Amino acid sequence: MNFDSFSESLEVLEKTPGRLELAQRLAALLRELTPGETSRALYMVQGQLLPSFDGEPMGMAGSLLLRAIGRALDSRGVTCSDSELKALLAEAGDPGILAERLLPPNEGAGESLIEVYERLLAISRLSGSGSQEEKILHLARVLSGGSPLSARFVCRFVMGRLRLGVGDATILDALTLTVLDASPDDERAWKKGRKSVREEIEGAYNLCSDLGRVGAVLREEGRDGIRRIAPSVGYPIRMALCERLGSGEEIIAKLKEAAVESKYDGFRCQVHCDGTRVRLFSRNLEETTGMFPEIARAASELFSGRSAIFEGEALGYDAENESFHPFQVTITRKRKHNVLEKSEEIPLKCLVFDLLYLDGLSLMERPFAQRRKILEEIFPVTVRGIADRELPPDGVFGASRLIVTDDPHKVDLFFDEVVEEGFEGVIAKRLDGVYAAGSRNFNWIKLKRSYKSALSDTVDLALIGYYRGKGLRTKLGIGAVLGAVLDPESGEFQSVARIGSGLTEEGWRDLRAILDDLRTEGPPPGVVSGLVPDFWVHPSIVVTVLADELTRSPTHRAGRGEGEEEGFALRFPRMVSGPRADKKAEEATTVPEIRRLYDLQRQRSTGRSSGEP
């Protein structure tokens, strides 16, 4: 496909308001592409050049981009001084719009989608002395070689501001539609088939976390190829997630017998070893190998000549007191600079809780009890010391501490012990449960110390808008944010709270600076809200929020079913963290979780009113 034609399709996607229609139009585009074009197109509509775990968006500085636009104009015989460009940019407000307005139409056919993609990838890899000038030169050639519309999208792409509203769920839906007939004869059978295809495609994505790869395989090999995608070292597996319950009694009622582990408060790590190389991935699939060298080094020594994928929690270690640091200390290890100095100051221990792959074989479909047995043959079991607390392992790695029980009282006692030691709570696991990549189900159930509050837990909200500051916050330019939860069925981000407290003045300023770069003209695709903020933003930022309670609301849309007049809302919400670097918007709290938290809250309220303890 010609890149100019691809840009025309991007413009169509940009103007499409609804998520279902967006998926349909993306599917129409994908049907026109070859498998090689498909992977590149899918990366680009996400605003990236590679899977998120293999690279970062280009994020080119605005000043360099402006110089590239000027160079492209020169090559097309258009004279425009730097001062004139800056004045015109201030008027346009968007480098992409500026380039589109100034560049004359190109009479040639222009380059192909693959050629432009490869040029941008090469530009992103330029580094070292003189690389800035090289980037400007090569980008100017890309801008001058296509249509004015193509220049608009290239500029937005290299600045990291493409933001078409195309998330993972939309791409999965679009890929599903490419397999099915557009005009079904039997609507009921078509919907059933759609669900089956969607589950297969999502299952493949959960195993490799690479939508470009999934799309290319689907277009070239069909559903048979999708079914052959399996866990492999170097492709992070989308991590299993927990459901929530409120007591040991509820957990045992659900699982009958369970393995109950300490829930540590650190960095979740998925470690990949191929015998010669080690890579570490965070819970949002960002590569963190360089940040945690002691874990990478220890894994390389432990699995020399072997392949493995395992998961654990990395915690800061206090050698003087032979204990773990609190999360506020551990979090300081997440950095890209001065890593070695910080690793000496705060070394890490990794407590391993699951083994997914070993020596070329996937263990994910095996029962947890079997996976745990193999895990304990490799990693030393974490034990309690004479001070009646959990001791860090002697080396970097240790198996997480757990008990196996069918007694609710023992679950609650273990929970109390863990909280007393300073950890978050416990996770109960179904003994015969498989590892459900990318899924949230009752194979894993978390019970946290915050469940003792009025609202069962903190919630993670995706920000979808913000309000101008009033009174003392006028100077900040932001007074509150609008938060949403994710409906996994529809893929919608549904409003649940307007939050105006919890951050310092500096925190509000920093948040506004981030949100300003995410602003959209109207509600982004897939965002629904009963409140209209002063500024809408693309749902990319997640914040953790605590509230007094959950209520039903005629204003907010979270969990409002068809024909219902009320959704859910948070009462007196306040942020307990700024933007979460470890979470994507798609990992925000979901509507089903909100429903369960509301039910738990009502159960406790009923118990108190009836005189129960």
State whether 401 and 329 are in the same domain: yes
Q: Poorest-confidence range of 66-75, 184-193, 384-393, 395-404?
A: 384-393
pLDDT score recorded for residue 326: 84
Catalytic residue chosen out of the listed positions 15, 191, 192, 263: 263
The answer to whether position 150 is within a domain reads no
Q: Place 52 in a pLDDT band, splitting at 50, 70 and 90.
A: confident
State whether 444 and 297 are in the same domain: yes
State whether 502 and 560 are in the same domain: yes
- pLDDT above 60: residue 121: yes
pLDDT score recorded for residue 328: 81
- Supply the pTM of this predicted model: 0.82
531 phi, psi to nearest 5 deg: -105, 145
State whether 346 and 311 are in the same domain: yes
- pLDDT above 90: residue 323: no
State whether 401 and 499 are in the same domain: no
pLDDT score recorded for residue 470: 75
The total domain count for the chain is: 2
Nearest residue to 322 via CA among 268, 252, 265, 384:
384
The answer to whether position 108 is within a domain reads no
The answer to whether position 323 is within a domain reads yes
State whether 514 and 551 are in the same domain: yes
- Residue partners of 485: CB distance under 8 A and separation at least 6: 459, 461, 462, 493, 494, 496, 558, 559, 588, 589, 590, 591, 593, 594
- pLDDT above 90: residue 463: yes
Chain-centre distance for alpha carbon 15: 25
State whether 438 and 516 are in the same domain: no
State whether 463 and 448 are in the same domain: no
- pLDDT above 50: residue 613: no
The answer to whether position 558 is within a domain reads yes
Q: Place 612 in a pLDDT band, splitting at 50, 70 and 90.
A: very low
pLDDT score recorded for residue 59: 64
119-139: average pLDDT: 90
Write out the residue range of the structural domain in which residue 258 sits. Answer: 241-452
Q: How far apart are CA 62 and CA 69, in angstroms?
A: 10
Q: Which of 433, 452, 471 is the last residue of a domain?
A: 452
Q: Return the SS3 of 14.
A: helix
pLDDT score recorded for residue 360: 95
The answer to whether position 590 is within a domain reads yes
The answer to whether position 503 is within a domain reads yes
576-603: average pLDDT: 85
Out of 353-357, 381-385, 522-526, the most confident range is 353-357
Catalytic annotation on 263? yes
Q: Which of 452, 475, 503 is the last residue of a domain?
A: 452
State whether 435 and 344 are in the same domain: yes
Chain-centre distance for alpha carbon 236: 13
State whether 501 and 428 are in the same domain: no
**What is the percentage of the chain residues whose pLDDT exceeds 90?**
56
The answer to whether position 331 is within a domain reads yes
State whether 524 and 388 are in the same domain: no
327-333: average pLDDT: 85
Question: Residue 506 sits in a domain of what CATH number?
Answer: 2.40.50.140
88 phi, psi to nearest 5 deg: -70, -35
488-511: average pLDDT: 90
Q: How far apart are CA 365 and CA 413, in angstroms?
A: 31
525 or 461, which is more confident: 461
- pLDDT above 70: residue 77: yes
Question: Residue 428 sits in a domain of what CATH number?
Answer: 3.30.470.30
Q: Which of 452, 474, 495 is the last residue of a domain?
A: 452
- pLDDT above 90: residue 533: yes
State whether 267 and 398 are in the same domain: yes
Q: Return the SS3 of 167.
A: coil
The answer to whether position 302 is within a domain reads yes
User: Average pLDDT, whole number, for the chain?
Assistant: 89
- pLDDT above 70: residue 57: no
- Residue partners of 372: CB distance under 8 A and separation at least 6: 259, 355, 402
pLDDT tens digits, 236-288:
999 999 998 888 999 999 999 999 999 988 999 999 999 889 999 998 888 99
pLDDT score recorded for residue 216: 96
- pLDDT above 60: residue 608: no
pLDDT tens digits, 1-33:
999 999 999 999 998 887 889 999 999 999 999
